[in-house]
C-alpha cells in the first residue's frame, strides 16, 4: 500500500507582484518501507516538496494523499496532528530545544500526543537507548557532540513510531566520519521496516537510499532505483 500518493501538485509563492513556481507539476508514490532520496540543486524545489511531504505546508494545486487521507486541504491543527502521529523529522541543524536535556527533547512529541508522563519517560529512554545514547539522557544539547545531537533528533523522530521519517540534509552539519555513522543508523532503521525520505544534495549520501528522485526547476527530472546501493557497515550503536 502506498503511504504517500502525490498527484500533479504545484506550489506557487507570491513574492511581491511576482509568482514563483517552486513546484510546477509533481506526481509520485512512496510505498511502505521504502528508502527514498530526494535530490536537486538549490532552487529545484526540493525544500518545498519536503515541506509538503512533511505536512508543514500544503500545495497550491494538486492532491496529496497520505495513508488514504487527503491532506492537501487540511488546516493548521489537522496538519499538526498528522505531523505528530505520522511523521518523524530529522533536520540538518538538529533543532533540539537548547535548554532541555536529551530525555525531554525525545519526550516532546509525546507531550503533544497526550502520552502520560511515566509512559513518556520510559519510551523516550528506550528510544535513546536504541540510538546508542543510554548514557547521555540527561545531557543538554550543548553538552553533546554534533553526532550525538543528531542521534537525539533521530530518537525523537522514531519515538512516536511514525509512518515516515523525513530527514533534511541530516549529515549537512557533521564531519564525514560522523555523517557515515548517522547514515549507518538510518540504514539500520530502514532495515527494521521504517520508511525513510532523505533530502540531500550530495550524491554519495543519496546513494545510501534505494531510490533517488531528482528534481529540477520544480519538476521531477528522473525517478529511478539506485543500481548499486551503498550499504554502510552496521555500527549504529558505536561512538560518534
Residue 48 CB, nearest distance to other proteins (Å)? 9
Residue 111 CB, nearest distance to other proteins (Å)? 5
CA 149 to chain CA centroid, nearest Å: 15
Which residue number, 51 or 235, has a Cβ lying nearer to other proteins?
51
Which residue number, 160 or 171, has a Cβ lying nearer to other proteins?
160
Which residue number, 110 or 196, has a Cβ lying nearer to other proteins?
110
Residue 112 CB, nearest distance to other proteins (Å)? 4
Which residue number, 2 or 92, has a Cβ lying nearer to other proteins?
92
Which residue number, 11 or 208, has a Cβ lying nearer to other proteins?
11
Residue 115 CB, nearest distance to other proteins (Å)? 9
The contact set with other proteins (CB under 8 A) reads 51, 54, 56-57, 76-77, 80-81, 83-85, 89, 91, 95-97, 99-100, 108-109, 111-114, 156
Residue 74 CB, nearest distance to other proteins (Å)? 12
Amino acid at each position: 500500500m502506498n503511504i504517500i500518493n502525490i498527484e500533479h501538485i504545484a506550489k506557487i509563492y507570491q513574492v511581491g507582484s511576482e509568482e514563483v513556481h517552486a513546484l510546477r507539476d509533481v506526481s509520485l508514490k512512496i510505498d511502505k518501507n521504502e528508502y527514498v532520496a530526494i535530490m536537486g540543486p538549490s532552487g529545484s524545489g526540493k525544500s518545498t516538496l519536503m515541506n509538503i511531504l512533511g505536512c508543514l505546508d500544503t500545495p497550491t494545486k494538486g492532491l496529496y494523499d497520505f495513508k488514504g487521507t487527503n491532506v492537501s486541504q487540511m488546516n493548521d491543527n489537522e496538519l499538526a496532528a498528522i505531523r505528530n502521529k505520522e511523521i518523524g523529522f530529522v533536520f540538518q541543524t538538529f533543532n533540539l530545544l537548547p535548554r532541555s536535556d536529551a530525555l525531554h527533547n525525545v519526550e516532546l512529541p509525546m507531550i503533544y500526543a497526550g502520552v502520560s508522563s511515566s509512559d513518556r519517560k520510559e519510551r523516550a529512554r528506550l528510544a535513546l537507548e536504541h540510538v546508542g545514547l543510554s548514557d547521555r539522557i540527561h545531557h543538554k544539547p550543548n553538552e553533546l557532540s554534533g553526532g550525538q545531537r543528531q542521534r537525539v533528533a533521530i530518537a525523537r523522530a522514531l519515538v512516536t513510531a511514525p509512518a515516515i521519517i523525513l530527514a533534511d540534509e541530516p549529515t549537512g552539519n557533521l564531519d564525514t566520519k560522523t555523517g557515515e555513522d548517522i547514515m549507518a543508523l538510518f540504514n539500520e532503521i530502514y532495515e527494521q521496516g521504517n520508511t525513510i525520505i532523505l533530502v540531500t544534495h550530495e550524491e554519495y549520501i543519496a546513494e545510501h537510499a534505494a531510490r533517488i528522485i531528482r528534481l529540477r526547476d520544480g519538476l521531477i527530472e528522473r525517478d529511478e532505483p539506485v543500481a548499486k546501493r551503498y550499504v554502510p557497515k552496521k555500527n549504529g550503536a558505536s561512538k560518534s
